[in-house]
Structure 1
């Protein structure tokens, strides 16, 4: 049984970490607090390219940094602020004990995502990790899910994809033949079609439900 799980805003709380960093970054610049709201919105929950966001920041804040320096700031300065709900680790541990093979499937740069995984000890709870940069393909393309399934010595049709993003995780996983579990984070499902197999408020809730269903 295969269980693929997204990283940012699924296993780890990327949103809170970035929000905290953005407020501090704007404070250091001596800018108004509302500029942090602009930066958080422009980030688009991490889905705005770092190069694009760096360019916007340079113009918005009149920065002297070169673009590459800003990209590095965006990639790494918030990582040490990331936290993870202990219930997510508990759910992963219990899923593995129940016989599930667990893989992380995440978009992002290899250096950044590996740093998050290492910092929070997720290697101890997973059997494979696929990062879009090293895989050469990003979610929602089906190939990244197939690569993850292959590294777990299985097929997508025998597994699940759990994530918070309706397109990258849920639509992508569905098209790859995976059953899907959506981590809503309190949001309503935004699409009329292609709904997830199940929905939960938290990652632990979704994983627990999947494991219980399989044990019936």
Structure 2
């Protein structure tokens, strides 16, 4: 029963779509031009930018008197509200589980955001456990977080695969711990010369199919 170490944002759950929906509604609410969506998506950087930095950038650009903490809360609640678990993803995880794999989420982020999304979408019913960097005290690509995931599942890392969309955090992390990996390219081209994914695919379903086939 090998481990399946899975990223959360834009791997198991779409984050880019929900963030864009929230951002478009927020810009309309404050009277900003719709074209500013590209700026806001760029500032967010697929969720890699600290939430407080995003809030401060918004306040500065639009000269808002809204406290940063209120913007951070609005961003969190907006993304969570629009996030859904794709039934095909749920089905694929069930198939992997039936085939003997043990799915465990390994995610960078805050407990409030990641734990809420896992539980609210029902993803928790299809995974064995999850490790969030804020709780763990260590972030991907540090090998320690993958070791913690194995400990949480009471399994060894040997034989595990890592699946994710981040070249640095997911694929770099897999390389650091010596595990095979599948990169979700999301329309991008692999550029890093320090390491490379074992497989490159367009989405989670082909990623799981690749691993089951291997």
- TM-score normalised according to structure 1 size: 0.95
How many angstroms does 1:7 deviate by? 0.5
Q: Distance in 1 between matches of 2:74 and 2:64?
A: 13
CA contact (8 A) 2:3 2:103 kept: yes
Note the aligned Cα RMSD (angstroms). Answer: 1.2
Aligned: 1:130 with 2:121: no
Displacement of 1:86 in angstroms is 2.3
SS at match of 2:195: coil
Paired residue secondary structure (1:19): helix
Runs of 4+ in 1 over 6 A off after TM superposition: none
**What is residue 78 of structure 2 aligned with on the other side?**
77
Gaps of 5+ in 1: none
CA distance in 1, matches of 2:199, 2:158: 16
Query: In the alignment, which residue of structure 1 is the partner of 2:170?
Result: 169
Describe the superposition over 1:155-210 as per-residue Cα deviations: whole angstroms up to 9, x where unpaired: 22320110000001110122122211111122211223411011110111101110
Residue 121 of structure 2: aligned partner = 120
Partners in 1 of 2:54 and 2:4 — Cα distance? 32
Provide, for residues 121-165 of structure 1, a one-character-per-residue CA deviation record: whole Å limited to 9, x for no partner.
Answer: 111111111011111111111111110011122222320110000
CA contact (8 A) 1:4 1:103 kept: yes
Match of 1:48 in 2: 49
Mean Cα displacement is larger for which, 78-87 or 21-30? 78-87
Number of the residue aligned with 1:19: 20
Unpaired segments ≥5 residues, structure 2: none
User: Is the CA contact 2:23–2:40 (under 8 Å) kept in the aligned structure 1?
Assistant: yes
Partner of 1:200: 201
Contact 1:156 / 1:177 at 8 angstroms: preserved in 2?
no
Instruction: Give me the TM-score of the superposition, normalised by structure 2.
Output: 0.95
- CA–CA distance in structure 2, aligned partners of residues 200 and 133 of structure 1: 29
**What residue in structure 2 maps to residue 105 of structure 1?**
106
Alignment of 1:24-43 (within 5 A): 24-43=25-44
